[in-house]
Amino acid sequence: MQAFEYVAAESLGEAISLLDKHGNQARILSGGTDLIVQVRENRRQVDLLVDIKKIPEFNEIFYNGSLQIGASVPCYQVYGNEDVQRLFPALVDSTSIIGGVQIQSRASIGGNLCNASPAADSIPALIALGASCVIQGPNGDRKVAVEEFCTGPGQTALSSNELLVKLVLPKPANNSSSFYLRFIPRNEMDIAVVGVGASVELSSDHKTFVSARIALGAVAATPLFAEEASNILAGQPVSEESIQTACSAAQDVARPISDMRGSAEQRKHLVGVLTKRALNGAISRIKETA
Amino acid sequence: MSRKVHVQTQINGDSIEFLCEPRQSMLEVLRDDLDLTGAKEGCNNGNCGACTIMVEGRPVNSCCMLGVEAEGSNIETIEGVASPEGLHPLQQKFLEHAALQCGICTPGFIMNAKALLESNPNPTEKEVRFWLAGNLCRCTGYDKIVRAVLDAADNGEDDL
Amino acid sequence: MAIVSIPSLMRDLTNEKSQVEITGTTIRELLDNMESEFPGVKERLCHQDDGIERISPYIGVYIDGVLIERGMRSPIGPNSEVHFLPAMGGGC
Amino acid sequence: MKSGNGYKVIGSRPIRHDGVDKVTGRAKYGADLNFPDMLYGKVLRSPHAHAKIISLDVSQALEYPGVKDIITGSDLPIVEERIAEFGEIPENMRFLSDNVLASEKVFYKGQPIAVVAATDIHTAEEAVDLIEVEYEILASVTTVEEAIAPDAVVLHQSLTTNTLGEKTDIPTNIASHFRHENGDLSLGFSQAETNGVVVERTFTTQTVHQGYIEPHTATAKYNPDGELTIWTSTQGAFAVRDQVAEILRHSASKIKVVPLEIGGGFGGKIRVYVIPLAALLSIRTGLPVKITMSREEVFEGTGPAPATLIRVKIGATKDGRITAAEADLFYEAGAYPGSAVGAGANCMFTAYKIPNLRIDGFDVVVNKPRSSAYRAPGAPNGSFAAECVIDEICQKLEIDPLEFRLFNGAKEGDRRPTGPIHGKIGYIETVSAAQTHEHYQSEIDILKRQGRGIASGYWGNGAGRSSVNLTVNGDGTIMLLEGSTDIGGSRASIAMQAAEVLGIASEDVRPAVVDTNTIGETGVTGGSRTTHATGLVAIRAAEDVIAQMKGQMADHWEVNQVEFADGAFSSSNKSCDFKEAAKICAPVVGSVTESTGGAGGGFGTHIVDVEVDEETGKVEILRYTAVQDVGTAIHPSYVEGQMQGGVVQGIGWALSEEYVFGENGDMKNSSFLDYRMPTCYDTPMIDTVLVEVPNPGHPFGVRGVGEVPLVPPLAAIANAVSRAIGVRMTDLPMNPGVVLKALDKI
Strand partners, A181: A196
CATH architecture of B5-80: Roll (3.10)
Q: Are A183 and A270 in contact (CB under 8 A)?
A: yes
Testing the interface with B: which of A97, A101, A104, A191 to mutate, by most B Cβ within 10 A? A101
| Mean pLDDT on D10-29 | 98
Average pLDDT, chain C: 87
Q: Name every chain D residue with its beta carbon within 8 A of the beta carbon of B50.
A: 213
Contact flag C88-D464 (C-beta cutoff 8 Å): no
Contact flag B81-D24 (C-beta cutoff 8 Å): yes
Assess whether A166 and A180 both reside in one domain: no
Q: What is the pLDDT of residues D705-724, one digit of tens each?
A: 999 999 999 999 999 999 99
Assess whether A24 and A104 both reside in one domain: yes
Residue D425 CA to residue D636 CA, distance in Å, equals 19
For D588-614, what is the HEC assignment? EEEEEEEEECCCCCEEEEEEEEEEECC
What is residue C80's predicted lDDT score, i.e. its pLDDT? Answer: 94
Contact flag A266-D737 (C-beta cutoff 8 Å): yes
Torsion of CA D544, D550, D556, D558, to 10 degrees: -140
For residue B113, pLDDT beyond 60:
yes
| Mean pLDDT on D478-505 | 97
What is residue D593's predicted lDDT score, i.e. its pLDDT? Answer: 97
What is residue C88's predicted lDDT score, i.e. its pLDDT? Answer: 64
Q: Name every chain A residue with its beta carbon within 8 A of the beta carbon of D618.
A: 183, 185
Across the interface, of C45, C81, C87, the residue whose CB is closest to D342 is: C87
Average pLDDT, chain B: 95
In single-letter form, the type of residue at position D244 comes to V
Across the interface, of B21, B61, B112, the residue whose CB is closest to A3 is: B21
Q: Are D719 and D453 in contact (CB under 8 A)?
A: yes
The radius of gyration of chain A from alpha carbons, rounded to an integer in Å, stands at 19
- DSSP secondary-structure letter at D216? P
Assess whether A102 and A161 both reside in one domain: yes
Q: Name every chain B residue with its beta carbon within 8 A of the beta carbon of D647.
A: 141
Contact flag D487-B101 (C-beta cutoff 8 Å): yes
Residue D9's nearest CA partner among D440, D415, D523, D538 is D538
Residue-range domain boundaries for chain B: 5-80, 89-152
Q: Name every chain D residue with its beta carbon within 8 A of the beta carbon of A266.
A: 617, 736-737, 740, 746
Across the interface, of A187, A260, A273, the residue whose CB is closest to D668 is: A260
| Mean pLDDT on A183-210 | 97
Contact flag C89-D85 (C-beta cutoff 8 Å): no
What is residue C92's predicted lDDT score, i.e. its pLDDT? Answer: 32
Chain A nearest-CA distance from B65, in A, is 7
Assess whether A186 and A231 both reside in one domain: yes
Answer whether A58 touches D (CB < 8 Å).
no
Q: How many domains does chain A have?
A: 2
What is residue C86's predicted lDDT score, i.e. its pLDDT? Answer: 77
Answer whether C86 touches D (CB < 8 Å).
yes
Q: Where in the sequence is the domain holding A185, given as residue range(s)?
A: 176-289
For residue B159, pLDDT beyond 60:
no
Chain A nearest-CA distance from D377, in A, is 26
Taking the CA atoms of B50, B53, B54 and B55 in sequence, report the sign of the dihedral they define.
negative
Testing the interface with A: which of D64, D611, D738, D746 to mutate, by most A Cβ within 10 A? D746
Interface partners of chain D (CB pairs < 8 Å, 3 or more) are A, B, C
DSSP per residue over B89-135, as a string? HHHHHHHHTT--SS-SSHHHHHHHHHHHHHH-SS--HHHHHHHGGGS
Q: Are D507 and D548 in contact (CB under 8 A)?
A: no
For residue D112, pLDDT beyond 80:
yes
Contact flag D525-C92 (C-beta cutoff 8 Å): yes
Chain D nearest-CA distance from C33, in A, is 19
| Mean pLDDT on A141-160 | 97
Strand partners, A167: A69, A133
CATH number at residue A121: 3.30.465.10
Q: What is the ipTM of this complex?
A: 0.97
Answer whether C51 touches D (CB < 8 Å).
no
Closest chain C residue to the Cα of D264, Cα to Cα: C92
For residue D137, how many C-alpha atoms fall within 13 Å in the half-sphere facing its CB?
9
DSSP per residue over B37-51, as a string? TTS--SSSSSSS-TT
As a CATH number, domain C2-86 is 3.10.20.30
Question: How many B×D Cβ pairs under 8 Å?
Answer: 191
Q: What is the pLDDT of residues D221-264, one digit of tens each?
A: 999 999 999 999 999 999 999 999 999 999 999 999 999 999 99
Using pLDDT thresholds of 50, 70 and 90, give the confidence band for residue D664.
confident
Strand partners, D332: D364
Last residue of a domain, one of A125, A148, A170: A170
| Mean pLDDT on C41-56 | 86
Across the interface, of B35, B91, B98, the residue whose CB is closest to D637 is: B98
Assess whether A113 and A189 both reside in one domain: no
Chain A nearest-CA distance from D195, in A, is 43
Same fold, D19-26+462-596 and D308-461+600-742: yes
Q: What is the pLDDT of residues A65-87, one digit of tens each?
A: 999 999 999 999 999 999 999 99
For residue D495, pLDDT beyond 70:
yes
Across the interface, of D126, D616, D681, the residue whose CB is closest to A270 is: D616
Across the interface, of A2, A189, A261, the residue whose CB is closest to D679 is: A189
What is residue D4's predicted lDDT score, i.e. its pLDDT? Answer: 62
Assess whether A76 and A162 both reside in one domain: yes
Assess whether A181 and A277 both reside in one domain: yes
Collect all residues from A whose CB is shorter than 8 A from any CB in B: 1-6, 8, 29, 32-33, 36-37, 39-41, 49, 51, 53, 76, 99-103, 105-106, 187-189
Is D33-138+214-263+269-297 in CATH node 3.30.70.260? no
Residue D358's nearest CA partner among D324, D387, D308 is D324
Contact flag D122-B142 (C-beta cutoff 8 Å): no
| Mean pLDDT on D133-146 | 96
Q: Name every chain C residue with its beta carbon within 8 A of the beta carbon of D82.
A: 49
Q: Which residues of D157-190 are buried (b: 16+ CB within 10 A; e: fewer)?
A: eebbbbbbbbeeeeebbbbbbbbbbbeebeebbe
Closest chain B residue to the Cα of D687, Cα to Cα: B143
Residue-range domain boundaries for chain C: 2-86
The radius of gyration of chain B from alpha carbons, rounded to an integer in Å, stands at 16
Q: What percent of chain D has pLDDT over 90?
A: 94
What is residue B1's predicted lDDT score, i.e. its pLDDT? Answer: 59
Q: Do chains C and A touch (3 or more CB pairs under 8 A)?
A: no
pTM above 0.90, yes or no: yes
Burial of C21 (0-12, 13-18, 19+ CB in 10 A): exposed
What is residue D1's predicted lDDT score, i.e. its pLDDT? Answer: 39
Residue-range domain boundaries for chain D: 19-26+462-596, 33-138+214-263+269-297, 308-461+600-742
Within the 158-197 window of chain D, which residues sit less than 8 Å (CB to CB) from chain B? none
Other C-beta atoms closer than 10 Å to the C-beta of D149 total 12
Closest chain D residue to the Cα of B91, Cα to Cα: D23
Average pLDDT, chain D: 96
Q: State the greatest distance between any 2 C-alpha atoms of chain C, in Å, as a whole number.
A: 41
CATH number at residue A233: 3.30.390.50
Other C-beta atoms closer than 10 Å to the C-beta of D443 total 8
Q: What is the pLDDT of residues D556-565, one digit of tens each?
A: 999 999 999 9
Answer whether C61 touches D (CB < 8 Å).
no
Closest chain A residue to the Cα of B53, Cα to Cα: A102
Q: Name every chain D residue with its beta carbon within 8 A of the beta carbon of C10.
A: 164-165
As a CATH number, domain B89-152 is 1.10.150.120
Using pLDDT thresholds of 50, 70 and 90, give the confidence band for residue D656.
very high
Testing the interface with A: which of B61, B75, B142 to mutate, by most A Cβ within 10 A? B61
Burial of D514 (0-12, 13-18, 19+ CB in 10 A): middle
What is residue D163's predicted lDDT score, i.e. its pLDDT? Answer: 82
Contact flag C65-D416 (C-beta cutoff 8 Å): yes
Pairing mode, strands A132-137 and A66-70 = unpaired
Closest chain B residue to the Cα of D298, Cα to Cα: B43
Contact flag A33-B1 (C-beta cutoff 8 Å): no
Q: Name every chain A residue with its beta carbon within 8 A of the beta carbon of B55.
A: 105
Taking the CA atoms of A214, A218, A219 and A222 in sequence, report the sign of the dihedral they define.
positive
Residue D345 CA to residue D378 CA, distance in Å, equals 8
Within the 111-140 window of chain B, which residues sit less than 8 Å (CB to CB) from chain D? 128-130, 132-140
Closest chain D residue to the Cα of A190, Cα to Cα: D673
Q: What is the pLDDT of residues B38-80, one digit of tens each?
A: 999 999 999 999 999 999 999 999 999 999 999 999 999 999 9
Assess whether A83 and A202 both reside in one domain: no
Burial of D654 (0-12, 13-18, 19+ CB in 10 A): buried
Assess whether A190 and A162 both reside in one domain: no
Q: Name every chain D residue with its beta carbon within 8 A of the beta carbon of A2.
A: 126
Q: Name every chain B residue with its beta carbon within 8 A of the beta carbon of D290.
A: none
As a CATH number, domain D19-26+462-596 is 3.30.365.10
Fold of the domain spanning D308-461+600-742: Aldehyde Oxidoreductase; domain 4 (3.30.365)
Assess whether A11 and A67 both reside in one domain: yes
For residue B111, pLDDT beyond 50:
yes
| Mean pLDDT on D591-598 | 94
Distances A221 to A42, A163, A224, D715 between C-alpha atoms, Å: 21, 22, 9, 39
What is residue D79's predicted lDDT score, i.e. its pLDDT? Answer: 81
Q: What is the pLDDT of residues D66-104, one digit of tens each?
A: 999 999 999 999 887 787 777 666 788 899 999 999 989
The set of residues, in sequence order, having a beta carbon less than 8 Å from that of A50 and lying 6+ positions away, is A7, A9, A15, A18, A19, A26, A27, A28, A29
Distances A51 to A9, A155, A261, D200 between C-alpha atoms, Å: 6, 20, 32, 62
DSSP per residue over D17-66, as a string? TTHHHHHTT-S-BGGG---TT-EEEEEEE-SSSSEEEEEEE-HHHHHSTT
Assess whether A139 and A184 both reside in one domain: no
Q: What is the pLDDT of residues D423-435, one digit of tens each?
A: 999 999 999 999 9
Residue D677 CA to residue D295 CA, distance in Å, equals 14
Across the interface, of D89, D377, D421, the residue whose CB is closest to C65 is: D421
Q: Name every chain C residue with its beta carbon within 8 A of the beta carbon of D423.
A: 65-66
For residue D194, pLDDT beyond 60:
yes
Residue D157 CA to residue D159 CA, distance in Å, equals 5
Contact flag B107-D261 (C-beta cutoff 8 Å): no
